[in-house]
Amino acid sequence: MRITHLTKSYYSADAGACVPVFHDFSLSIPVQSIMVITGPSGCGKTTLLHLVAGLTAPDSGSIVREPSETGAVSYLFQEPRLLPWRNVFTNVELPLRTSMPDKGERDAKVLRFLSLVGLSGYEAYLPSELSGGMRQRVAIARAFAYPSKLILLDEPFQSLDVKLRHELLQAFLSLWGEERRTTLYVTHDIPEAVLAADHVCRLDGPPATVADQFPIPIPRMNRVPGSPALSQFEARLYDGLTRPGMAQGAQGSST
C-alpha cells in the first residue's frame, strides 16, 4: 500500500483555523506485513487509520492499495465495540452475513475463530458478562473472521494489564500468521511494537512526519521480550519517543 502526498486538515476551534494533520505525507507499507506506527499523542496516528479505512477522505493525495489488498477492512478499536444486546457468537457472525450467505459455512467459521481466540463455550454470553480481555478477544475474532484484505489496529490492548496484553498480542500474531494480511498497527507500547512489527514507523507532528523508519529483520517466532537482539530496537524507539523538543524538531527527516 502506498500513501503519497497525503494532505488532511481539521478545523480546530481552539486555534480558530484549519490545522494540518498531514501535509504532503508519504509512506509505503509492504504487502502482507505488519507496520507498527508509533509516535506522540495527537500526531495523527488515528487519523491515518481513519484515512486508510475510508472513514474520512483526504483533502488531497492518494492512498493506493495493491490488488491483493483491495476489499474490506478490519478495524480493532481501542475498545471492543461489541453490540451489547447481542451475544458473542452473533457479534462475530453479523459482519459475515453479506459475504457468506451459506449459514452452515458461516457458523463453522465463526466457531473456528472463537475457538482460536480461546472463547469456545462462551458463544452464548452477552458482552456484559465477559471480562474486558475476553471482550477484546471477541473483537479480535471478529476482525479475523471478517474477510478483509487489510487490518488496522488502534492501540487495541492499551487498557489491559501486561499479562492480558501479552496473551492477546500472541493470539493476534498467531491468527495473523495463518493468513497474512497487510496490517497497520498503532501502539504506544515499545515492547509490543518490536514484538509485532515487520517494520516500525515513528511519526512526529502535527503535521505528521516520518521521524524514523526501520525493519526488524528477526523472524517473529525467535523474538524474545527483553532479549539483546530486540532491545537495540527498543532503545532506538525509546530514544526517539522521549528526546526533548522532538515534536518541533523533526521536520527535516520527513518522507
Partner 1 sequence: MRLSTSSPRPDSNSIHCSKDRQWPRHLAVAASCALLLCLWQLGAVLVDARIILPGPGTVLASLVGLISAPPFSLNVGMTVARALESFLIIVVSGTLLGLLAGFFPVFQAAMSPLLTVLKATPVMSVILLAFIWFSSGTVPIFSAFLMGFPIMFIQIAQSVAGMDPALEQMCRIYGFSPSLRLRHYVLPSLLPALVTGARLTLSMVWKVVVAAEVLTVPRHGIGSRLQMAQVNLETSDVLAWTLVAVLLTALGDLFFDVLLVTGRRLALFRARRTVPSRRGE
44/240 with CB nearer partner 1: 44
Nearer to partner 1, 142 or 202 (CB): 142
Site string for partner 1, 140-169 (x = CB under 8 A): --x---x--------------------x--
74 binds partner 1 (CB under 8 A): yes
Binding characters for partner 1, 13-52, by CB under 8 A (x = yes): ----------------------------------------
Residues 226-255 that bind partner 1 (CB under 8 A): none
Q: Are 6 and 58 in contact (CB under 8 A)?
A: yes
Binder among 75, 113, 144, 176 for partner 1 (CB under 8 A): 75
Name the residue nearer to partner 1 (CB basis): 123 or 192: 123
Interface with partner 1: number of residues (CB under 8 A): 42
Residue 139 grid cell: 473483537
Q: Provide, rounded to whole angstroms, the least separation between the CB of residue 235 and partner 1.
A: 31
Beta carbons of 222 and 183 less than 8 angstroms apart: no
Which residue in 18, 19, 83, 235 binds partner 1 (CB under 8 A)?
Answer: 83
Please, which residue, 21 or 100, has the CB nearer to partner 1?
100
Separation of alpha carbons 78 and 154, rounded Å: 6
Tell me how far, at minimum, the Cβ of 126 lies from partner 1, in Å.
5
How far, in Å, CA of 226 to CA of 207, rounded? 33
CB of 207 to partner 1, least distance (A): 24
| 171 near partner 1, judged by CB under 8 A | yes
- Residue 172's closest CA among 1, 181, 52, 81? 181
**Contact between 125 and partner 1 per CB under 8 A:** yes
Cα angle: 234, vertex 139, 54; to 5 degrees: 80
Cell of 84: 451489547
Interface with partner 1 (CB under 8 A) = 53, 55, 72-75, 77, 79, 81, 83, 85-87, 89-90, 94-95, 97-99, 107-108, 111, 116-118, 120-126, 129, 131, 134, 142, 146, 167, 170-171, 174
